[in-house]
Structure 1
Amino acid sequence: MSDLNETPPAYPADWLEVHSMDLDAQGVARKPDGKVVFIDGALPFEWVTANTHRKKNNWEQASLTAIHKESAQRVRPGCPHFGLHSGACGGCKMQHLHAGAQVAVKQRVLEDNLWHLGKVKPETLLRPIEGPAWGYRYRARLSVRNVIKKGTVLVGFHERKSRYVADMEVCPILPPHVSAMLMPLRALIASLEARDTCPQIELACGDEVTALVLRHLEPLSAGDIDKLRAFATEHQVQWWLQSKGPDTVRLLDADSPQLSYALPEFGITMPFKPTDFTQVNPHINRVLVSRALRLLDVQKHERVIDWFCGLGNFTLPLATQGREVLGIEGSEALVARSRDNYALNQAQAGQPLAPTQFVARNLFEMTPEMLVADGVAEKWLIDPPREGAFALATALANIEQARLGAEDAPELPPQATGWTPPQRIVYVSCNPATLARDAGLLVHRAGYRCVAAGMVNMFPHTAHVESMAVFERI
C-alpha cells in the first residue's frame, strides 16, 4: 500500500501539468512562476512539453510538442482531417477528447461562467442533454474554392486558424449521405462554367429533404443549371440559388417537396427555408424543446411569452399547453413564417392550438414601458442569440428596483400598476457568458432565484456550449 503522504514524482522543469481546458478547447497549464499557458491539443491531467509562439505579461500561447503522461480521456479522432497539422480542418476542436469528457468540460464552463461572471450558483444541476456524437450536423455553411495551383475544387470548412478551405474528402459530423456527397460536389463545381464565382454552399437538412443553397456571384448558364438538376436527381437533393443577399434565395425547381422538421411529441410540423435559423442538431432540439416545456410547466389557464421566438420552435409547442401565447422576434420575415406555421398546424392539429400572436420588435432596445405594454404572463421562455437578452433582463430588473424604491432605479412606468412579473422563466442560451450576465441581473436585481441549470451538447466535438437555466420568482 502506498503512503498517502508520499510526494509526487519530480518531472523535468520544462514539463507542464495541464489542469483544465478553456472554452477554445486549449489545455490550461501554469509555469512554476504562476504564468498561465494555453496549449493547443493538450488535455486536462496530462504532462506535456509545448512550444510558445505568443507571449503576454500574464499568459502565453503554445503548441503541443510532446505528451509525456497521457490523459485517460484521450481518444483517437473519428475524422482523418482533424488535428494540429498544417491543413487540418478547423470545424472541430475536441475530437481527441472522449465525448463524455467533452460534456463534463462544457458543464464546468457553464458553472464557472455563472459564478465568476454573474455570481449565481444554481440550486440544482440538470443532467446534460446529449445525443449522437456523429452525423448530427443538419445545418452547415461550406466554403467553395477553385484552387488553380492544385488543379482541384475544395468544398468544406476552413482550415484550422486559416482563411483557406480544408481539403476534405469526408466529414463524420455531417449526416452520412452529405459526407458521401463532398467529393461529388467538388467534381460538380469543377465542371461548371461558374466554378470561380461560386464561393459557398449552405446545407439545410429537414426530416425528409436535403437542401443545398448555392451562392453564385454571376448568373448561371443554362448548361450549369442542367448540371445542377442532374446532380439533384442523382443525389436526391434540392437546389436553392442565391445571387446576392438572403432575400434573393429561391428554389431552383418550384415543384420540389417542402423542407420541414417535426416535433412529434407535440404534433407540430415546422416548414422552413434553408436560410432560416433552425437548430443545427435536430436530435437535441427535440429533447431541448421537451425539457424546456416540462421545466416551464405551463398550465391551461396561463399566458406565456416566448421571447426571440424565431420560426416558433418553442412557441407552437407552448400553444398546445397554455391559454394564450405571445411570440416576439426581431425579424419581420421570421414573424411572417411563424404566423404561417401556426396557421398550418392549427389546421392539422388533432386539438386546437391556443390563441397565439406574433410580433416583430427589436428586443435589444427593450424598455420597462414596452415590457409592461406586452401584458402579464405567468411564464416566460427566452431563447436569444449569442448577444443574450440584456435589455430584456435590465427592463425587468428596473421595474423591480423601482418598486423597491432603489435610489438608482428609473421611474416606474405609469401603466405598471397591476402588472406582475412572470413567476417562472426558462432561459435557453447559446453563450454561457451572456447567460451568466443576464442571470446576475435576474437574481441580484429582478427578484429571482436560479433553481436549475445544465448544459446542452448541441455541437459535439466543438467548444460551443449551449445551456438552459430556470428562474423562479422569490
Structure 2
Amino acid sequence: MQDDIKPKKKLLLATIENIDQEGRGVTHIDGKAIFVEGALQGEIVECESYVKKPSYEIAFTERVIRQSNLRVKPKCDHFNRCGGCSMQHFEFQAQIAAKQRVFENTLSRIGKVKTETILTPLAGPSWHYRYKGRLRVKFVVKKNKALVGFNEKRTHFIADISSCEVLPQTLSDILPQLQDLITQLSIKDQIPQIEFAADQKHLVLVLRILDALNTNDELLLNTFSSQHPVQFWTQSKGPDTIKPLSKKDDVKLSYALKEFGLQFSFMPYDFTQINPFINQVLVRRAMSLLKPSKDDRIFDFFCGLGNFTLPIATSGAKVRGIEGSASLIERAKQCRDENHLNDFVEYQCMNLFDITKESLLKLGHANKWLIDPPRDGAFQLVQLIDDDIHPSIIVYVSCNPATLARDAQILVHEKGYKFDKAGIVNMFPHTSHVESIALFVKTES
C-alpha cells in the first residue's frame, strides 16, 4: 500500500513501526530513524521533517493515510498547535500501555535490569489534573493582546489558547479574561510568566513582574480577584520577593491524604505534587511496598514537604526526612507539627547530590529507605551503599526512567539488591512523561 501512494512534494511517506519515549511515532527510511510527532504505531502518514541530523530526523504528521484504531479525536481544540500535551490523539488506556513499554524498555536498555514483578499501572483523572505549574506570558503588539499559555508545538511562540483541558477547571475557565486583564495593565510587556498553584478551594496566580505595578494596575487586579475565584501574588526578583498582592489574597493552600488522616499546608511557591489525585494512590502504593511498622527506622530522602514522611510516621515507625531545600524543611516541620507527629519525625537539611559516607553514617542506621529524587536521580546516594550502609528495603519513586534504570543497575549488579517490583504512575496524562515506583530488596550475602 505504501508504494501505491504518492506523497506530496517535500513530504515523507512513513509507515510507523513503534512509539518512542517522547510519544512520537518511529519509522526508518533508507536506514535513517525518523521520529514523527502525532503518529501512532501501525499508521501510514505523510510527514515533514523540521530537524535533520546525520543519524536521525524529527518530523510532524501532515496527513494520516491509514489510521490506527487507537487514534481518537483530541478533547482540546488547541491540541494541534499548543505544546502543552503531546498524546491527546492517543486513546487513554493505550497511552498508559505505551508508557509501560517505554518504562520496561528503558530499564532493559540502560540499566540491563528486569523487575521480577510488573505492578499494575496507577492512573487517575485524565483531565484538569495539573494543580501546579507555570504559564508563559507575552504581550503581542500586532494583536494588541497578552497571550497566556504554553509554547506552540515546534516554536518558541506562545500558543493563542482560550481554554486548557489539563489545567484546573477554574483556571481554564478564566483564561480569556486573564489575557484581557494582562493587556490592560501598564506593565503588560513586563510580565514574562505566571506560576499557578491550586487546591480544592483556592487558585493562586503568582505574577512575575519586571517593573512595579501602579495604583491602577493594583485596582484592576483586585477587581478581577473579587469577580473570579483567584488570588494574585507577585514576584519582583528572587523567591524571597513572592508575596500576596493584598491581605485578602493571603490564602492558605493545603492538600489532604485522607487515608492517613493527614493535612499538608504549603505556599504557592513550594514544591508539591502536581497531580493531587494520583498522589493519593501513589502514597498508598509506596506504603504497601515499604510496609512501615513501629519496629522500623526509616530514611525518606528528598522528602520535600513530607509527602511520604508523614504517612510513614502514622505507622509508628521512626522516620527522618532529608531534603536539600532549607525552606521546604521548615514547611515540612510545620506540617509535622500540625499533624502532631513530633514524636516520630525528624527532619534534616542536606545536599543529597554531594552526600558523603561520613555524613550519611552520622544520620544513624535505617533499615528501610524511601527515595523520591528529582530527574537527576539518586546516583551519589546509592553509590554509598556498602557493608556499613545497607537498608533491607529501598522504595524508589522516580520521575525519570533513565536515571532510575541507571541507579537500578548499581543496586542490582553492584550492591546486591533484588529488583523485586516496579510499575508506572500516570502522573501526567496526555504527555509523554513517565513517573514510576520500584521496590529493591537486599539479598542474603
TM-score (norm 1): 0.89
Tell me the SS of whatever aligns to 2:306.
coil
Q: C-alpha offsets along residues 43-102 of structure 1, whole Å, 9 cap, x if unaligned?
A: 11112233334433332322323322211100101111111xxxx111011111111111
Tell me what 1:391 maps to.
380
**CA contact under 8 A between 1:79 and 1:171: conserved in structure 2?**
yes
Tell me what 1:468 maps to.
437
Whether 2:107 is the aligned partner of 1:114: answer yes
**CA contact under 8 A between 2:319 and 2:345: conserved in structure 1?**
yes
Specify which of 332, 353, 365 is matched with residue 364 of structure 1. Answer: 353
Distance in 1 of aligned mates of 2:53 and 2:251: 55
Structure-to-structure mapping, 1:35-434, within 5 angstroms: 35-83=32-80, 88-254=81-247, 256-346=250-340, 354-396=343-385, 399-400=386-387, 416=388, 420-434=389-403
Q: CA deviation at 1:152?
A: 1.1
Tell me the SS of whatever aligns to 1:183.
helix
**CA contact under 8 A between 1:240 and 1:252: conserved in structure 2?**
yes
**CA contact under 8 A between 2:2 and 2:13: conserved in structure 1?**
no
Structure-to-structure mapping, 1:449-460, within 5 angstroms: 449-460=418-429
Tell me the SS of whatever aligns to 2:247.
coil
Distance in 1 of aligned mates of 2:24 and 2:256: 37
Q: CA deviation at 1:151?
A: 1.5
Q: CA deviation at 1:367?
A: 2.1
Q: C-alpha offsets along residues 281-334 of structure 1, whole Å, 9 cap, x if unaligned?
A: 110011111111111101111111000001111111111114311000001111
Quickly say closer, same or farther: Cα 1:51–1:237, change in 2 above 3 A: closer
**CA contact under 8 A between 1:454 and 1:469: conserved in structure 2?**
yes
Moved more, 13-22 or 265-274: 13-22
Distance in 2 of aligned mates of 1:62 and 1:146: 30
Paired AA for residue 346 in structure 2:
Q
**CA contact under 8 A between 2:2 and 2:15: conserved in structure 1?**
no
Tell me the SS of whatever aligns to 1:364.
coil
Distance in 2 of aligned mates of 1:295 and 1:206: 28
**CA contact under 8 A between 2:144 and 2:183: conserved in structure 1?**
no
Paired AA for residue 438 in structure 1:
D
Same amino acid, percent of matched pairs? 48
Distance in 2 of aligned mates of 1:76 and 1:97: 8
Specify which of 8, 17, 20 is matched with residue 19 of structure 1. Answer: 17
Tell me the SS of whatever aligns to 1:231.
helix
Paired AA for residue 371 in structure 2:
I
Tell me the SS of whatever aligns to 2:282.
helix
Q: Which segments of 5 or more consecutive residues in structure 1 lack a partner in the other structure?
A: 1-8, 347-351, 401-415
Distance in 1 of aligned mates of 2:73 and 2:168: 20
Q: CA deviation at 1:199?
A: 1.6
**CA contact under 8 A between 1:304 and 1:322: conserved in structure 2?**
no
Quickly say closer, same or farther: Cα 1:168–1:65, change in 2 above 3 A: closer
Q: C-alpha offsets along residues 221-271 of structure 1, whole Å, 9 cap, x if unaligned?
A: 122112211111111222111111111111223354311111111111111
Quickly say closer, same or farther: Cα 1:290–1:226, change in 2 above 3 A: same
Q: Which segments of 5 or more consecutive residues in structure 2 lack a partner in the other structure?
A: 6-11
**CA contact under 8 A between 1:310 and 1:338: conserved in structure 2?**
yes
Tell me the SS of whatever aligns to 1:295.
helix
Quickly say closer, same or farther: Cα 1:224–1:65, change in 2 above 3 A: closer
Tell me the matched-pair count: 436
Paired AA for residue 364 in structure 1:
F
Q: C-alpha offsets along residues 182-221 of structure 1, whole Å, 9 cap, x if unaligned?
A: 0110111112112121221111001222111111111111
Distance in 2 of aligned mates of 1:280 and 1:53: 32
Q: CA deviation at 1:11?
A: 4.2
Q: CA deviation at 1:354?
A: 4.4
Paired AA for residue 427 in structure 2:
M
**CA contact under 8 A between 1:46 and 1:67: conserved in structure 2?**
yes
Distance in 2 of aligned mates of 1:34 and 1:194: 53
**CA contact under 8 A between 1:209 and 1:260: conserved in structure 2?**
no
Tell me the SS of whatever aligns to 1:365.
coil
Tell me the SS of whatever aligns to 2:188.
coil
Paired AA for residue 62 in structure 2:
T
